[in-house]
Structure 1
Amino acid sequence: MLSLSLKDAQLSLDGNAGRVDILHGITLDVEKGSSLALVGPSGSGKSSLLMLMGGLERASAGHVTALGQDLTHMDEDELARFRRRAMGVVFQSFHLIPTMTALENVATPLELAGDKDAFSKAAAELETVGLSHRADHYPSQMSGGEQQRVALARVMVVRPDVLLADEPTGNLDEANGNAVMDLLFELQARDGATLVLVTHSNALAERCERIVRLRDGRIEGTGQ
């Protein structure tokens, strides 16, 4: 069963210098519950491809299907509801709300979904990532590694079917980066989620079941 399927997907964006072609005819299937690393040099289209998979960018041509839903034909409101229900995205920057505590940050997506147990579930997820003692702390009071773990807890508390991670350790030192990645794979296994990971790290990519290499907006090769 497929979680993600792209058929001849293309992405072009309008810039100051005119229209720029970013992705060229990407065809790719991702099995449910699998882990996939997207690798390649800077500017190869890795993050853009991840954004297509999450419906954060709309394909200029071709089709993008996620969990059986054709994202190409959804409007912005439909895409937002779909992402909130089924997808989680972890970025290099933590994107925590600075005026909220760790507990409040993690509870936010559940509150938006109307979950009456938002705070108890958020507290349990903070404990899972080893940060129950930081529940009442604000982002500015936490280290980068702790902030990324809070961001990961916020994503995983909704139990997404698809987890997209864009250089999640890019702002962390090696020790914190390794700890966050261990946690990411543990949570993926716990929930049976599909993981797509953008990374420059060969060691990190090799932890995934499959590697897709991009260059100049095209798939250059795939492997284990």
Structure 2
Amino acid sequence: MTTPVLSLQNAALSLDGNAGRVNILHDITLTVAKGETLGLVGPSGSGKSSLLMLMGGLEQASAGKITALGQDLTGMDEDSLARFRRNSMGVVFQNFHLIPTMTALENVATPLELAGHKDAFQRAAAELDAVGLSHRRDHYPAQLSGGEQQRVALARAAAPRPQILLADEPTGNLDETNGAAIVDLLFGLRDKHGATLVLVTHSHSLARRCDRVVRLRDGRISEDSQQKAAE
């Protein structure tokens, strides 16, 4: 049996809030295979983004075990998690999270430089070209449209060639045309580099393109269904 790329066993997440301890995720058991595209769907507040954060080691599980590429994320400290994400994961957020004082090229080159790649700027330029932004590489985020900023964020996530790509509502702040373009780019990266793609979405059309859809409700998995990806 092939070892899953991601595995969660009885994972739970509780956080301290103003009103006390809040239980966000309960007893999540889930595996994701290499090269699979998994959509996380459900109503607002169901725990979709929190589950994605657990998968990326951006939140620490309160209980259970999470492994990624055979590594136990629940046993890592913050520095180890940061190194693991840098080397193995790409994360795309709804709000882009670009560094405002850096150009598009510098934003994309940053994770490559941190990983010690001597050709960081050459690779960053190639990634910007791949998302159709070679003519905008010297522009700062404030000079770019929302769709262009998300393309830069996607290029930054893809540049280190991650084995796992996580996307949290990647089309949430975009109009229909730009959203469709970002979706095509995401799936193109999966096809081109063989990355495993996990994404949170409210978009039915985006969910239908996934190999599999997991629906959450009240912090629990309510449905896990395999489906034929849209042609």
Alignment TM-score, normalising by the size of structure 1: 0.99
Q: CA offsets per residue over residues 131-184 of structure 1, 9 Å max, x none?
A: 101111111111110110000000100000000000011000000000011011
| Runs of 4+ residues deviating >6 angstroms | none
Instruction: Return the match for 1:94 from 96, 99, 103.
Output: 96
Cα distance in 2, alignment partners of residues 11 and 139 from structure 1 = 34
Instruction: Return the match for 2:110 from 105, 108, 128.
Output: 108
User: Is there any run of 5+ residues in structure 2 with no aligned partner, and where?
Assistant: none
Q: CA offsets per residue over residues 67-118 of structure 1, 9 Å max, x none?
A: 0001011011110100000001000001111111111111000111121100
User: Is there any run of 5+ residues in structure 1 with no aligned partner, and where?
Assistant: none
Aligned twin of 2:166: 164
Cα distance in 2, alignment partners of residues 33 and 114 from structure 1 = 26
SS in 2 for 1:37: strand
Cα distance in 2, alignment partners of residues 17 and 209 from structure 1 = 39
Number of aligned positions between the proteins: 224
User: Which amino acid is 1:110 matched to?
Assistant: L
Alignment of 1:14-163 (within 5 A): 14-163=16-165
Q: CA offsets per residue over residues 167-212 of structure 1, 9 Å max, x none?
A: 0110000000000110110011111000001001111101000000
Cα distance in 1, alignment partners of residues 39 and 189 from structure 2 = 17
Cα distance in 1, alignment partners of residues 79 and 139 from structure 2 = 33
User: Which amino acid is 2:145 matched to?
Assistant: S
Cα distance in 2, alignment partners of residues 71 and 152 from structure 1 = 24
Aligned twin of 2:187: 185
Among all aligned residue pairs of Structure 1 and Structure 2, give the percentage whose two residues are the same amino acid: 76
SS in 1 for 2:28: strand
Q: CA offsets per residue over residues 41-87 of structure 1, 9 Å max, x none?
A: 00000000000000000110000000000101101111010000000
Cα distance in 2, alignment partners of residues 222 and 38 from structure 1 = 10
Question: How well do the aligned residues superpose, as a CA RMSD in angstroms?
Answer: 0.6
Cα distance in 2, alignment partners of residues 137 and 186 from structure 1 = 25
Q: CA offsets per residue over residues 7-27 of structure 1, 9 Å max, x none?
A: 000001111101011000000
User: Which amino acid is 2:164 matched to?
Assistant: V
User: Which amino acid is 2:195 matched to?
Assistant: A
SS in 1 for 2:108: helix
User: Which amino acid is 1:190 matched to?
Assistant: K
Aligned twin of 1:208: 210
Cα distance in 2, alignment partners of residues 142 and 75 from structure 1 = 36
Cα distance in 2, alignment partners of residues 22 and 137 from structure 1 = 39
Using the TM superposition, give the Cα deviation of residue 122 of structure 1 relative to its aligned residue in structure 2, in angstroms. Answer: 0.5
Using the TM superposition, give the Cα deviation of residue 221 of structure 1 relative to its aligned residue in structure 2, in angstroms. Answer: 0.5
SS in 1 for 2:5: strand
Cα distance in 2, alignment partners of residues 77 and 103 from structure 1 = 26
